[in-house]
Amino acid sequence: MRRYTRSPLLKFVNDPKELTGSLSAVVFVGDQLWVASDELTSVERLSTDDGVTFGGHESFPLEGLITLPALGTDFDQEVDIEGMDCDGSHLWLVGSHSFKRKKAESKKPEEHNDPARMIAKLAKVDKEGNRFILARVPLVTGDDGRQVLAREGAAQLPGDVQSNALTKALEAGGDKGDPHLAKFLTIPGKDNGLDIEGLSVAGDRVFLGLRGPVLRGWAVVLELSVEAGDGGALSLGGVGPGGRPYKKHFLDLDGLGVRDLCVEGEDLLVLAGPSTNLDGPVAVYRWGGALSASSESLVRRDKLARVIEIPHGEGNDHAEGMTFIPDVERPKQILVVYDSPSEQRREGSDGVRADVFDVPAA
């Protein structure tokens, strides 16, 4: 795809308010751009004729493609999709797997101006069961020649409204659960609790980047070996030490957490930003030789190249997703989408601008 602009415009028809204001994941599949909002239970497909504006919006509700554990329950809320990737034949997606603390605010003035009520609200933590999703959905060619998602062949990690196979594995690791991560499973994501926000797939290897926890400045990437089982289930292979179903990689990202991941050859590009609900530096790092790592790793700062500085605002322009732009070789380029975009990024009520950055060669 040829790129004619540094700030492509994304235009939506369905749910434009949620989509323009809360994009959290993005991936190119051929010349089609797939995006997701962490406020919805769907994924969105866009296309372009000119490399400047992406339109032709079509929405694909997930309830028709995979099993949403909380569907029809009191916990039936957004999937909180935080990462997407494509393995060539399937669209992969991951929810945050995080708990959510209530905000100390209300749309009703009489409640918002009641400190006692807002303090009590701040103590409430929700388990939104649709967040415990790791799934892949087949991509097929529709009658119009564009990609569509198919339910037949879709698969996901087994789970319910409180956990799935991954979080259960973290709870079971060692005598008291995984020594690094188990204690963070019930801490809300915005409080430095477990919060998955990056996904990249390489063969049967799935890399999950954690926004939190950040442990004394070290960010965490989990590596899984995922296989398709019977009955639409994905299973975790014993990829870690002692047959544990995950590996842990610790990265010194200058105290930042992971927001997204992209594979480039044997390397991983890591989009990094603050772990908690703060404005702060956002950058892309190159983890050289990440796919060559045969064991768990501690990746020190001198082994991570900080290759792109991403703009951020005060209370806005939070970079959440990145994807390589296809057919651009010299230099390669990534497209970045933002949550809470500034007014300068918005175009009317249905459009929002992304950014394009050159990726320095390794």
The pLDDT score that the predictor gives to residue 184 is 95
Q: Are 15 and 3 in contact (CB under 8 A)?
A: no
Residue numbers of the domain that contains 279: 9-359
**Residue 260 within any structural domain of the chain:** yes
Q: Are 271 and 357 in contact (CB under 8 A)?
A: no
- Which residues make beta-bridge pairs with 61? 42
Q: For the segment 158-194, what is each residue's pLDDT rounded down to a tens digit?
A: 998 889 999 999 998 666 789 999 999 999 998 999 9
The pLDDT score that the predictor gives to residue 102 is 86
CATH code for position 248: 2.115.10
**Residue 4 within any structural domain of the chain:** no
For residues 221 and 296, what is the distance between their CA atoms, to the nearest angstrom?
A: 10
**Residue 2 within any structural domain of the chain:** no
**Residue 116 within any structural domain of the chain:** yes
Cis bond before residue 331 (omega within 30° of 0):
yes
The pLDDT score that the predictor gives to residue 2 is 57
Closest CA to 338 of 315, 354, 362: 354
Residues of the chain with pLDDT under 70: 1-4, 73-78, 128, 173-175
**Residue 231 within any structural domain of the chain:** yes
- Which residues make beta-bridge pairs with 333? 358
**Residue 144 within any structural domain of the chain:** yes
Looking at the structure of the chain, the number of domains it has is: 1
**Residue 164 within any structural domain of the chain:** yes
Q: Which residues contact 350 (CB under 8 A, 6 or more apart)?
A: 11, 12, 13, 16, 20
**Residue 72 within any structural domain of the chain:** yes
